[in-house]
Amino acid sequence: MIDKKELIKEFILKHPKESGNWIYQEAKKIGLGIRKTNFLAIVRDVRDLPEPSKAKKEKSIPIIYRKVKPKPSKVKVKVKIPFEQTKFGKITKDLQKAHKISEKHAIIHARKILKISKKDYYKMNQKDVQILLHRTP
């Protein structure tokens, strides 16, 4: 008894100018239908065709079922700049020396003098860091 693969190979050789999909559809009508990927692998084997590229395989997947590839993100490098080098840090150090208070109290005092809320204070520190990064060579 002849194997199903042998019958498929004979069918492919009978239709040398037809496309793989057309041959697959006709083979299904006759009763030689197997899994499409396996069938097309046999077609490539018989006709000495190369495997499809990765891009071509991904292109054949419907858009709905495609997986979103993560984009490479830029790695943020956190640079720790000393507090004394920032503008606010200089103000607090001056207050600390003038009033002879701790650094924590000097920060609170400077925030009250400059009327800066806590949220704005944290944003301000981030901006100072960015400014100093651009100035340093």
CA distances from 14 to 37, 46, 54 (A): 20, 12, 30
Question: Does 127 lie in the same domain as 88?
Answer: yes
Q: What is the pLDDT of residue 127?
A: 64
> What is the residue range of 103's domain?
83-135
Question: Does 14 lie in the same domain as 60?
Answer: yes
The total number of structural domains that make up the chain:
2
For residue 130, the surrounding DSSP H or E stretch is helix 118-135
- Does any domain span residue 78? no
- Within 8 A by CB and 6+ apart from 133, the residues are 79, 81
Residue ending a domain, among 21, 36, 65, is 65
Question: Does 57 lie in the same domain as 87?
Answer: no
Question: Does 52 lie in the same domain as 100?
Answer: no
SS3 88: helix
- Does any domain span residue 49? yes
Does the predicted model carry a pTM greater than 0.85? no
Digit-coded pLDDT (tens) for 9-40: 999 999 999 999 999 999 999 998 899 989 99
Q: What is the pLDDT of residue 131?
A: 60
Digit-coded pLDDT (tens) for 41-76: 999 999 999 998 988 888 888 989 888 878 887 766
SS3 51: coil
